[in-house]
Amino acid sequence: MAKNQWNELLLEQVRQLPMASSKEQVQLRLNLLIVEASKQKKTIPTEFELIFQAYQLSRSGKLIDSISVFFDAINFSQQNQQEFLICFCHYNIGTLYGMLGNYFYAQKFLTKAEKMQQFCDGYITGIIKNNIGDIFRQIGNFNEALIYLTQAAELLSQHGPKTAAALSYFNIAEIKAKQFLFAEANELLESLYQDIKNEPRYLGFYYKIQAEIASHSGDFEQADKLHLLSIKNMQICEHDYYYAEMILEYCHFLTSCLQYKKLDQFIDLGLAVAKKIESDKLIDGFNDIILLRIKDIDDINIREKHYQTLTSSLLNSRRELLKREGDYLQQLYRLNVAKLNLSTMKSLSDNLAVINKVGHYINTSSDIKNALPQIQQDLASLFQTDTLALGFYNSEQDQITIHYLDNNLPAQTPYITDCKSEATYMSYCIKSNSAFYFNHMNSEQKVAMLGDRCDSKVQFKSAMFSPITINGEVKGVFTIQARESYQYQTFHFELFSQLISYISIALENQYNRQQLLHLSQTDHLTQVWNRKSLEAHFNQLKQQQNQEYTGIMIDIDHYKEYNDTYGHIAGDEVLIQVSRLIKQGFHSLETQVYRYGGDEFFVLMPSIKPEKIRQKLDKLLIEVKKLLIPHKASTCSCYLSISVGIGYNKDPENQLSLNSLVNTADRALYQAKENGRNCYFELAHIKETIY
Closest by CA to 18, choosing from 88, 78, 118, is 88
d(CA 153, CA 17): 18
Average pLDDT across the chain, whole number:
82
Closest by CA to 581, choosing from 598, 559, 556, is 556
- What mean pLDDT do residues 421-443 have? 88
Of residues 439 and 232, which shows the higher confidence score? 232
d(CA 166, CA 191): 10
pLDDT value of residue 327: 46
d(CA 305, CA 492): 56
* Cα separation of the two ends of the chain: 98
What does DSSP assign to residue 180? T
Local confidence band at 322 (pLDDT 50, 70, 90 cut-offs): very low
Q: What are the DSSP E strand ranges found in 284-330?
A: none
**Residue 552, pLDDT above cutoff 90:** yes
Q: Which of 122-131, 253-262, 379-388, 681-690 has the highest mean pLDDT?
A: 122-131
Q: Using one digit for the tens of pLDDT, what is the confidence trace for 151-181?
A: 989 998 888 777 888 888 888 988 888 888 8
- The backbone torsions φ and ψ at residue 422, rounded to the nearest 5 degrees and listed phi first, read -140, 135
Q: Are 128 and 117 in contact (CB under 8 A)?
A: yes
Closest by CA to 462, choosing from 485, 480, 446, is 485
User: For residue 8, what are the CA distances in angstroms to 15, 401, 447?
Assistant: 10, 53, 52
**Residue 550, pLDDT above cutoff 90:** yes
d(CA 5, CA 587): 72
The burial class, CB within 10 Å (0-12 / 13-18 / 19+), for 540 is exposed
d(CA 72, CA 243): 28
Q: Using one digit for the tens of pLDDT, what is the confidence trace for 18-63?
A: 888 778 888 888 888 888 888 888 888 888 999 999 998 888 778 8
Q: Are 247 and 240 in contact (CB under 8 A)?
A: no
Q: Which helix (H) or strand (E) holds 563?
A: helix 559-566
Rg over CA atoms, the chain: 39
* Residues in a beta bridge with 683: 647, 688
Closest by CA to 152, choosing from 180, 128, 116, is 128
Q: Are 594 and 528 in contact (CB under 8 A)?
A: yes
d(CA 4, CA 10): 10
d(CA 688, CA 669): 12
**Residue 340, pLDDT above cutoff 80:** no
**Residue 256, pLDDT above cutoff 90:** no
> 265 by DSSP, 3-state: which?
helix
> 387 by DSSP, 3-state: which?
strand
Of residues 570 and 379, which shows the higher confidence score? 570
Q: Show the domains of the chain with their CATH numbers.
A: 1-100 (no CATH), 198-280 (1.25.40.10), 362-518 (3.30.450.40), 531-684 (3.30.70.270)
- pTM as predicted: 0.46
d(CA 459, CA 518): 41
- Alpha-helical (H) ranges within 116-259 are 122-138, 142-159, 166-178, 182-196, 200-216, 220-236, 240-256
Local confidence band at 594 (pLDDT 50, 70, 90 cut-offs): very high
